[in-house]
Chain A
């Protein structure tokens, strides 16, 4: 197990060193572009709702729509073939090539043909196959797999491409600039297109009512691939069908913005083949228009696991994906490693787990599924609103349940009162049961802290559990937050207008008790009657290890523990954003119904709650403002938490800090990279630090280097502590009135 982890660490390190810079530059560029471009689109959210609704409807009615497409395409003069699997599709296209005696086949970019390895099958038929999309062409020459859904050669720099082309093609003058490389490829591929006997494209969308294939491109190669040869084969997954031509509109508005951050690509081709353009025979010298229009068109609709995904309540959402790559570009881990680490046989990024599990089988997703930390930044970026982290969690859960019988389970048996099968990866089991560990840690502190940090312990933890020795371990407090509250002798406010439970999340209760105490002092100073009862841990820890049954158990406990308070009119104030994200997000799936709603509706992030109090007229004077900090600490560098930002809660913290007279600058990275247990794991430690460096750099600029660093999440605080020499703190500790405790 240990060597498997270190092999994985080696591979990640290698890819970060060789491809990381290009991937980072490109993914960040696309990501920034997306934010700018969707901000320019009026009705962005309404378009997302419409796009989602169209896809839900289309997948629901898919069998009927497949038949509708067959009818319209045949009425247009084409042929439709529904292929059960990759072999079936390849056999069909290969036979077409054989019948047409096709010597040269030109292709425009298609991930679906990557999925089925069509090129290899056509080459086996004796065809010369050419990728005409420049990114795909680079990969073809380099013999590499795509590292990105939209920009497949995202990992290659200009210099690397120049070296590759100069070695392979030996041009008279060595190629150097992007302009020269592009011109060379245009000319070279232009010749291939002129001699082509068959053109192969994918399809971004297929409309059932008009038999139209929509191709979203910018280079013009798809247009030429369709126009020049007299035979056109389009290979598309069955999920690409949408009911009507007009349904294309929201997708045309969304797809390029969501992907590369352009408002629209240069070309959105809307072809209802066989197309009316006459084919071009470059050996002929008659006017092109006089050519008899004897075009042939074949639409190959690929199942390859998709209909089974449609029947799978958890994987079905994957079929709504329009492969725009927003989930990859907005993913902090992807920004560091790209699709060669965060990807399977064909697909990459957040949604790849669903695709790979569906079309290539669970094993293809296993290797990279852990790269999704559940940070949730992709969720709001997805134009069809797919809950991508949930798909990743479900597949992780299935993988856990299919895991082999473990050898070392006895070691952590006492620490793992979970609902998971024997054989679950020990590391996952350890982190998933952090609640038990934390209780034990507090009960035996400070001895537990001394013991845990001895070199032999760290070595054992690294070997057995894969906990990286370079990470500092959390220090457990002997007196928990709940105990502190119970033991203190402070009268409750009489006739308080607001009553709130401060949720004692695992870290606040056992490790970072200070932020809990600060929250209580803050709320009480603002006149809120506060309670801190014993409440179960949220289930975030097991959920992030894919231990869904265990997480569900936690959710039910939390709900039961809080129910009497909710019934008595209490609000629930949550300090840890990842737990609030559970209450508002995953609990819908884990609890459902009214139990979910009553908790979700009444739970608030701590600054969201303070903001609400101040907005409703509560006097902020008792809080420590920027002036009270007397210059020290009045200038803030604030890093919000990934899930907090997804819930759109960052603004409450900055608004309150502003109101109290602090000068606040904020980070704009997607995630700190720590992500709960992720940054502790030996196979991911270096990746976690690489992601963290993007945040660290933002807080080491001339404007930020002297600022007090605050962050909302436990993980973020730990990561910032590792990245910076300054000690970060939770913003509530900054504004809370001084306490005697």
Chain B
């Protein structure tokens, strides 16, 4: 019997998103192995891990955003059924860091996984009414078929990579 995490991982791969499982203790080492440079990001709203002390530039300038090849941001939720992640917008610009660079590294906690869209919308409804009301349900890299064939990497990232923080590391 596949766990919710297994399902999530399988579906992430289906939507062309690489996955690395890690623990909070090994997070920064894992991150170093999957980011490209220069990288920008937004601080992670998690207690167990931080981007402080990594090569990721937090609070970038417009130039740094434009020059970055990699963006690192958190996902508020992961939707196992679809391999989707919920990217919340923040005043620090998480939306920008996950959108402009060619490669997007998404940090998602196992405990924030939900099985399906119904569960995701239930959780999101409460958040939205609480005022955390800008989010993107992102599934895989940006894509278009408008130029006559399917191409990845249009206005948004060409590559997506999820780092899943496992619960059992605590």
Contact = CB atoms under 8 A, between A and B. Distances in A.
Given A265-B139, A267-B142, A288 B93 contact: yes
A134 B148 contact: no
A185 B147 contact: yes
B71 interface: no
A226 B150 CA distance: 25
A79 interface: no
A271 B145 contact: no
Contacts of A218: 142-144, 154
Q: Name, among A189, A194, A209, A220, the residue most crowded by chain B CB atoms within 10 Å (CB to CB).
A: A220
Interface residues of B, number: 52
Nearest to A272: B133
A268 to B, nearest CB: 4
A134 B117 contact: no
A454 B53 CA distance: 91
Contacts of A132: 155
A733 interface: no
B50 interface: no
B13 interface: no
B62 A220 contact: no
B134 A277 contact: yes
Interface in B44-63: 59-63
A140 interface: no
Interface string B48-85: 00000000000111110110000000000000001010
B74 to A, nearest CB: 15
A271 B133 CA distance: 7
B95 interface: yes
B151 A133 contact: no
Contacts of A249: 117-118, 120-121
A252 B137 contact: yes
Interface stretch (B22-30, B124-132, B162-170): B124-132
A219 B154 contact: yes
Given A219-B154, A219-B155, A272-B133, A277 B138 contact: no
Nearest to A225: B155
Nearest to B42: A289
A80 interface: no
Contacts of B100: 224
A26 to B, nearest CB: 8
B129 A209 contact: yes
Interface in A261-308: 263-273, 275-278, 280-290, 293
Given A134-B146, A270-B124, A220 B137 contact: no
Contacts of B59: 287-290
B165 to A, nearest CB: 23
B89 interface: yes
Contacts of B92: 278, 289
A173 interface: no
Report the interface size class on chain A: 35 or more
B143 A153 contact: no
Contacts of A112: none
A159 B147 CA distance: 9
A156 B146 CA distance: 9
Contacts of B151: 178-179, 182
Contact of B155 (A153, A181, A189): A189
B149 A289 contact: no
B144 to A, nearest CB: 5
A271 B132 CA distance: 10
A220 B63 CA distance: 20
A427 interface: no
A157 B62 contact: no
Contacts of A181: 147-148
B155 A280 contact: no
Contacts of A267: 136-139, 142, 156
Contacts of A185: 147, 154
A293 B90 CA distance: 11
B95 A227 contact: yes
Contacts of A159: 148
Interface of B: 59-63, 65-66, 82, 84, 89-96, 99-100, 117-118, 120-122, 124-125, 128-129, 133-151, 153-157
6 A-B pairs with least C-beta separation: A158-B148, A220-B156, A272-B133, A178-B149, A220-B155, A134-B146
22 contacts: A138-B146, A158-B149, A182-B146, A182-B147, A210-B129, A221-B155, A223-B95, A245-B121, A245-B125, A248-B121, A249-B121, A252-B121, A263-B82, A266-B139, A266-B156, A267-B142, A271-B89, A275-B95, A277-B93, A278-B91, A285-B61, A293-B91
